[in-house]
Amino acid sequence: MGTSPNIQSILELLLDTQRLSKYIQEGDEIAAARLASQFAA
């Protein structure tokens, strides 16, 4: 039981979320759907 949260996974999740919103803004639905399916995995 660590006293600190897993910073690495939190940062990766933030980066993925940022990338996902960027894909959506650019209208890249295929890339957005691919990234979203990784979240569900």
Residue 26: predicted pLDDT: 87
Say whether 30 sits in a helix, a strand or coil: helix
Question: pLDDT tens digit string along 1-41?
Answer: 566 668 888 899 999 899 888 888 988 888 888 888 887 77
Residue 37: predicted pLDDT: 86
Integer CA distances (angstroms), 19 to 2, 3, 34, in order? 29, 29, 12
Q: Directed axis angle between helix 7-26 and helix 29-40, to 10°? A: 150
Q: Domains of the chain: which residue ranges?
A: 7-40
Residue 4: predicted pLDDT: 65
Residue 15: predicted pLDDT: 93
Measured CA to CA, the distance from residue 34 to residue 41 in angstroms comes to 11
Residue 36: predicted pLDDT: 82
Residue 18: predicted pLDDT: 92
Do 20 and 36 form a contact (C-beta atoms < 8 A)? yes
